[in-house]
Amino acid sequence: MTVSGFVSLVGAGPGDPELLTVKAVRRLEAADLLLYDGLVRPEVVALAPRAQRFCVSKRPGQRVATQESIQRLMIRGAQRGKRVVRLKSGDPFVLGRGGEEALALAGAGVPFEVIPGVTAAVSAPALAGIPVTHRGLASGFTVVSGHLPEAYEPIISAVSPGSMTIIVLMGLRRRAAIARSLLARGWRAGTPAAIVLSASNPDMRVWTGRLDALGDALLEDGGWPAGSAPGTIVVGEVARLQAYGEILHHKSAGVGA
């Protein structure tokens, strides 16, 4: 069967529409069918004015779309000759199951492309003024999913305490368990840590403290309910550079105003 449609696996970046790539915007504008994650901002969805739009969220408390149903929708749309955009938060291939979707498309004989996005693993710390690597503090970093212990425990166990920056995505609800796991493996209680919520969005907030206080971070303060916003956890010496982030934020706030 010859498939006349096409699928673009597109990264939406951390949230701010201005952080989309030029190619991502072009694909959105030309899309016939848009399947987007629940964390994608409405302003980004609006860039696909001519498309049928479906939110395929997997967020807690929202209607859940299974991975299999998402893949079926992509394949069926392409088989019907549609230009399909699968819009994913961050980068499609960084803890986004984009690889699974690519394999499903290839297996069904559907032509597709991957348009990378700015992953929150790097952009969220950067927007808070935290470099994931910094000379004299960290020469490398590792990114783990905090969704389940079986995802982060093997990686945490393999990393020597303090040897690199630890970036945890989707780990807010398990932040206390993640902190205990790191402490049990020899990380110093006073290791700097940070949480960046809603990176690049108007309600972006940053918590900084010590590793042994990570589990007790009061994310509910100021209408910031735990688990309701996308969050990135940073553990390592680079997190103490967040004071620079405060200066950077205030300097850039007036740019373009």
Q: Tell me the catalytic residues.
A: 37, 58
- C-alpha neighbours within 13 Å on the C-beta side of residue 238: 26
> How do strand 83-88 and strand 6-11 relate by DSSP bridges?
parallel
Element (H, E) at 113: strand 112-115
CA distance 168 to 160: 16
Q: Edge-to-edge strands of the sheet including 141-145?
A: 141-145, 165-169, 231-235, 192-197, 205-210
Residue 94 tokens read as: 């960084």
- Sign of the Cα torsion 218, 221, 226, 232 reads negative
Residue 149 tokens read as: 């212990």
